[in-house]
Amino acid sequence: MLVEIDNLSIAFPTPTGLSHAVRGVSLRIGAQKLGIVGESGSGKSLTARSLLRLLPESAKLTADRLTFDGIDILRANERTMRDIRGKRAGLILQDPKYALNPVMTAGDQIAEAWRAHKKGSRREAMQKAVDLLDQVRIRDPARVARAYPHELSGGMGQRVMIAMMLAPDPEMLIADEPTSALDATVQADILRLIEDLVSRRGMALVLISHDLPLVSHFCDDVVVMYAGRIVERLRAADLSRAEHPYTRGLLNCLPALSRPQPSLPVMVRDPAWLA
Amino acid sequence: MSAARPVTWRGWLLTETPSSRRQAAWGRRYRMWLAFSSNPVAMLGLVLTVLLFLCAAAAPLLATHDPAAQDLANRLAKPTAAHWFGTDELGRDVYSRVMYGSRVTLGMVLAVVLTAGPVGLAIGCMAGYFGGWADRVLMRVTDIFLAFPRLILALAFVAAIRPGITSTVAAIALTAWPPIARLARAETLTIRNTDYIAAMRLTGAGPFRIILRHVAPLCLDSLIVRVTLDMSAIILTAAALGFLGMGVQPPSPEWGAMVATARRFILEQWWVPTIPGLAIFVAALAFNLLGDGVRDVLDPKQR
Amino acid sequence: MIDVENLSVRFRDIEAVKSVSFRVPHGGSLGIVGESGSGKSTILRALAGLNADWTGRMAVDGVPLVPRRDRAFFRRVQMVFQDPYGSLHPRQTVDQALSEPLAVHGIPDGEARVRRALDEVALPGTIRFRYPHQLSGGQRQRVAIARALMTEPEVLLLDEPTSALDVSVQAEILNLLADLQRRRDLTSIMVSHNLAVVAHLCPTIAVMQLGEIVEMLSTDDLRAGRTTHPHTTALRALSVELQES
């Protein structure tokens, strides 16, 4: 298994004591497409980011086991972590507007990401950048390579982000709400692209989202989180057979285009889910 | 929880579910005070400020000598039991002069802040909120004032009218508002396009109501910091004016003027300029700490 | 109730809305869907009087709208914004936020009205003196809706009112809006990028692309797939494929 997590907890100190954002999460991730679904505050992003140890300074991270390809992330030094981040595991964020450097061209940024891990000449790096832009299905890669982030649309920016993350040939891709800032048509394209690239390269994918139907469409397995815990894990294909009332609630409360409803079912939160 | 009315005042003030606006308002004030008093640095600022104003109010009681009484035989004397902080170049008691000087200096600082603050805030908020030609006109005027060296502008103004405390205050206020206006405008520009201001416009509220009730309170944070940082500069500008014969007229004691005239004794009779200098330092520090504390409790998220 | 004819809105050199026309009958509700940059929110802001740079003809209840609206207009037309975190003043309590419209219009009996308004959007009275940062996203959006209803408007403009919320909260807010619309006989326009959300609330839907309304159709036609414009067909296909597979 590429990633092994046992009993992961993340807490933040508050004036009234520790507040637990993630409690006792255990996961195994291999070369598969895993979706982590939950609403805001469910701890889904924190769980995924703990793999790269990219947590807020004040976070208290504990786990019985937290490994990436056998490397103990809890005890690894900063140098080892830098080697994992970017090179072995890429992170795609929600809004490319904030994740790209506004004063560097797209091509330069991808080339730099490639050179940081692969050692090669400038010319070679730029060639590789154009090549990567082609792989993320940008129609005119040479032109986009010369463009600055503000000259790109949201979907195009996200493709550049993905190309950047693919540059060092990572073994895993973590996508944290990669399409929430994008339009529906672009959203589908980007997710299809990610799915295709991951399958073709045999990478592991962790797709974090609040959108349960969308995630199950693009992943093999789905983990549903609620209040810092995993409440249900299932094969994406078995979504309609979900058992936990929270998962069922998430599916039921969506308005559906195909069938009219006079009013939407409202989720009743059972305190027992927290136990 | 809500059934029994809390019996203590504290309970009444701190309840999570106030039953009336009056209770909520007092609870809010009490919480502000709790937050403020739990900040030792801010409390130090408050205590110092209160002490300074007490000194000013009780100057006649605290002073040991007439601040204007000269004793040329005993000039530049070292601190003794009779003259706690020594005497100045005309044999006047430095301690008594510092006490009386607090009235003049603190009064001037307050007067400047209370005129320049609101004026700068109003001009900056209006320029930022209205934009367009109003912004251009107001900001160019501000730039003109900013472009003049502070002291020259104040000098010119005082020279044009009669030197004295009132004109000094007016002159310094004239030079103090432009940076405040710039700051308020920058803050307003970020606030202006938010949804909550759009929602206020949709209530049908006029622009002045929106500026006064919704924009200006949000500019106060940075304004308080700016103004408290400015206070020592205000005292020193007043001193410079006094030194050039355009400010507070002798023999009325004023801290800045005391430092300025005693500058030449700093090596041999260090106490003469140092004592009023320390007074300026303490006053500026007190206002700074107090201002920082007030800014923190103004933001409900900090409480 | 709402008549819009040949409405165009320009931002400097870009024409964000190109000669759009539609009408919403009294008590009706129109949904406008489109992708970002299609101009859907711009129409709403022009209607609400937040953007004065428009040409064309707009009227509410037969009264033509001018770029500068008077106070009476804002009593009749109100708007709810997308981001409940940004649409409430950070330094004002719920009580202050809800009292403000009453103060502006000189409506008496403020305290009782505030209490009733909280009740109407199903918020507990205990949050009346809280600040926005002490509320959840759903509670904030309820406060924003309550504020819009304080002056008892006839027209409610909804700009993506649920897209910043979690899906479970979205369901609650959509139910609340549907309920209010029925009870208060409101005329409304709702803008969203989510076809299913708009279809849930509105019997008629306008589909926008690049500043133009490319298709107007009934929700029944949309549900049944009787679309004519390819953009509508594509949006519908995506919604069905991604959300209901």
Predicted-complex ipTM score: 0.88
Highest mean pLDDT among A117-131, A171-185, A224-238, B222-236: A224-238
Mean pLDDT of A94-102: 82
| Whether the predicted pLDDT of C43 surpasses 90 | yes
Question: Which residues in chain B have their CB less than 8 angstroms from residue C74's CB?
Answer: 202-204
Query: Residue C190's beta-bridge partner residues?
Result: C31, C158
DSSP per-residue letters across C123-180: --GGGTT--GGGS-HHHHHHHHHHHHHTT--SEEEEESTTTTS-HHHHHHHHHHHHHH
Mean pLDDT of C40-64: 91
List C residues 153-172 in contact with A (Cβ-Cβ < 8 A).
Answer: 166-172
Burial classification of residue A233, based on how many CB atoms lie within 10 Å of its CB (0-12 exposed, 13-18 middle, 19 or more buried):
middle
Q: How many residue contacts between A and C have a Cβ separation below 8 Å?
A: 94
Q: Which two tokens stand for residue B124?
A: 């900056």
Dist CA C50 CA B193 (whole Å): 10
Which residues of chain C have a CB within 8 Å of the CB of B17?
125-126
Q: CB contact, 8 Å: C236 with chain A?
A: yes
Which residues, listed in sequence order, are joined to residue C15 by a DSSP beta bridge?
A: C10
pLDDT band at A216 (very low <50, low <70, confident <90, very high): confident
Please compute the mean of the pLDDT values over residues B44-72 and round it to a whole number.
85
pLDDT digits (tens, 9 = 90+) for C175-224: 999 999 989 999 999 999 889 999 999 999 999 998 999 999 999 999 98
Query: Smallest Cα–Cα separation from B196: which of C148, C125, C127?
Result: C148
Segment B206-220 shows an average pLDDT of: 91
pLDDT confidence of residue A66: 92
Search chain B and give the residue with CA nearest C80: B199
Residues of chain A contacting C242 with CB distance shorter than 8 Å: 184, 187-188, 213-214, 217
Confidence of residue B275 (pLDDT cuts 50, 70, 90): confident
Give C186 to chain B, closest Cα distance, Å: 17
**Nearest CA distance, B225 vs chain C (angstrom):** 18
Residue C104 and residue B21: Cβ atoms within 8 Å?
no
Q: pLDDT at residue B118 above 90?
A: yes
Concatenated DSSP letters for chain B? --SSPP-SHHHHHH-SS-SSHHHHHHHHHHHHHHHHHT-HHHHHHHHHHHHHHHHHHTHHHH-SS-TT---GGGTTPPP-SSSTT-B-TTS-BHHHHHHHHHHHHHHHHHHHHHHHHHHHHHHHHHHHHH-HHHHHHHHHHHHHHHHS-HHHHHHHHHHHS--SHHHHHHHHHHHHHHHHHHHHHHHHHHHHTSHHHHHHHHTT--HHHHIIIIIHHHHHHHHHHHHHHHHHHHHHHHHHHHHTTSSSPTTS--HHHHHHHHGGGTTTSTHHHHHHHHHHHHHHHHHHHHHHHHHHHHSGGG-
Instruction: Return the pLDDT at B303.
Output: 61
Nearest residue in chain B measured CA to CA from C68: B204
Residue B276 is which amino acid? P
pLDDT per position as a tens digit, C78-91: 999 988 888 999 98
Q: What is the pLDDT of residue C148?
A: 93
Q: Are C104 and B217 in contact (CB < 8 Å)?
A: no
* More confident: B128 or A240: B128
Q: Please tell me the predicted confidence (pLDDT) of residue B302.
A: 66
**CA nearest C134 in B: which residue?**
B301
Class of domain B47-64+81-288: mainly alpha
B125 pLDDT more than 70: yes
Give the one of C169, C175, C196 whose C-beta lies nearest to A254's C-beta: C196
- The Cα–Cα gap between C165 and C162 comes to 5
> Residue B218: is its pLDDT beyond 80?
yes
Q: Which two tokens stand for residue B114?
A: 């209370």
**Inter-chain contact C90–B203, Cβ cutoff 8 Å?**
no
Residues of C in contact with B203 (CB under 8 A): 74, 100-101, 104-105, 151
Question: Which chain C residue is nearest to residue A239, measuring alpha carbons?
Answer: C245
Q: What is the average pLDDT score of chain B?
A: 84
A266 and C172 within 8 Å at the Cβ level: the answer is: yes
Which chain A residues contact residue C35 at CB under 8 A?
183-186
User: Which of B17, B27, B201 faces C126 most closely, judged by CB atoms?
Assistant: B17
Q: What percent of chain B has pLDDT over 90?
A: 25
Tell me the C-alpha distance between A48 and A44, whole Å.
7
Q: Which subunits count as partners of chain B given 3+ CB pairs below 8 Å?
A: C
- Nearest CB among A183, A250, A259 relative to C168 is that of A250
Token pair 């809800």 is found at C98
| 3-class SS of residue A143 | helix
Provide the sign of the torsion angle of the four alpha carbons B76, B79, B83, B84, taken in this order: positive
* Chain B residues 184-243 with a CB less than 8 Å from chain C: 194-196, 198-205, 209, 213-214, 217-218
Q: For residues A203 and A31, is the Cβ–Cβ distance under 8 A?
A: yes
- A185 to chain C: which residues are within 8 Å by CB? 35, 234-235, 238
pLDDT in tens, A173-182: 999 988 887 8
Q: Does C174 touch chain A (CB under 8 A)?
A: yes
| Cα radius of gyration rounded to whole Å, chain A | 20
Q: CB atoms < 10 A from the CB of B102, how many?
A: 25
Q: How far is CA C26 from CA B174, B291, C176, in A?
A: 57, 55, 20
* B146 compared with A181, residue with greater pLDDT: B146
Residues in chain B within 8 Å Cβ distance of C137:
none
For residue C243, the chain A residues in CB contact (below 8 A) are 213-214, 254, 256-257
Shortest CB distance from C126 goes to which of B16, B198, B217? Answer: B16
At residue C218, the pLDDT reads 93
Q: Could you tell me which of B166, A273, A129, B100 has the C-alpha nearest to residue A120?
A: A129
Is the pLDDT confidence value at B164 over 50? yes
* A153/A185 Cα distance (integer angstroms): 13
Q: What residues in C contact A238, CB-CB < 8 Å?
A: none
- C in contact with B (at least 3 C-beta pairs within 8 A): yes
Residue B22, Cβ neighbours under 10 Å: how many?
A: 9
Q: Which residues of B touch C129 (CB under 8 A)?
A: 18, 24, 27-28
Q: Is there a contact between C129 and B24 if contact means CB atoms under 8 Å apart?
A: yes
C100-159: pLDDT as tens digits: 999 999 998 888 999 999 999 999 988 899 999 989 889 999 999 999 999 999 999 999
Chains contacting C with at least 3 CB pairs below 8 Å? A, B
- Only one residue has tokens 């938010």, namely B194
Contact A214 C243 (CB under 8 A): yes
| Chains contacting chain A through 3 or more C-beta pairs under 8 A | C
Which of B14, B203, B220, B302 best tests the C interface by mutation, with the highest count of C CBs <10 A?
B203
| Rounded Cα–Cα distance for residues B5 and C62 (Å) | 53
User: What does the pLDDT average to over B27-54?
Assistant: 90
Quick check: A253 and C170 in contact, CB under 8 A?
yes
Contact residues on chain C for A35, CB-CB shorter than 8 A: none
Q: Measure in Å the smallest separation between the Cα of C19 and chain B Cα atoms.
A: 25
Q: Report DSSP state, residue A271.
A: G
The answer to whether the Cβ–Cβ distance between C50 and B300 falls below 8 Å is no
Q: Select the residue of A154, A256, A261 nearest C244 (Cβ to Cβ).
A: A256
Cβ count near C67 (within 10 Å) = 11
**Which residues of chain A neighbour C36 with C-beta distances below 8 Å?**
154, 183
Q: How does pLDDT run across B1-16, given as a tens digit for each residue?
A: 444 555 688 888 887 7
Test A263 with C175 for CB contact under 8 angstroms. Answer: yes
Taking the domains of chain B in order of start, what are their residue ranges?
47-64+81-288
Compute the average pLDDT of residues C32-50: 90
Looking at chain C, the whole-number percentage of residues with pLDDT higher than 70 is: 99
> C175: distance to nearest CA of chain A, Å?
6
Chain A residues with beta carbon closer than 8 angstroms to that of C193? 183-184
B151 interface with C at CB cutoff 8 Å: no
- What is the reported pLDDT for B231? 80
Which two structure tokens, joined as six digits, stand for A83?
């080697």
Do C175 and A260 count as a contact with CB atoms less than 8 A apart?
no
pLDDT of residue B1: 43
How far apart are the two ends of chain C, measured CA to CA in Å? 39
Q: B15 contacts in C (CB within 8 Å)?
A: none
Chain A residues closer than 8 Å to C197 by CB = 255
Q: Do chains A and B touch (3 or more CB pairs under 8 A)?
A: no
The hierarchical CATH code for the domain C2-244 is 3.40.50.300
CA distance A113 to chain C (A): 30
A146-184: b or e for each residue (b if 16 or more CB lie within 10 Å)? ebebeebebbbbbbbbbbbbbbbebbbbbbbbbbebbbb
Tokens (6 digits) for B96: 């008594």
pLDDT of B44 higher than 90 = yes
C-alpha C171/C-alpha C166 separation (Å) is 9
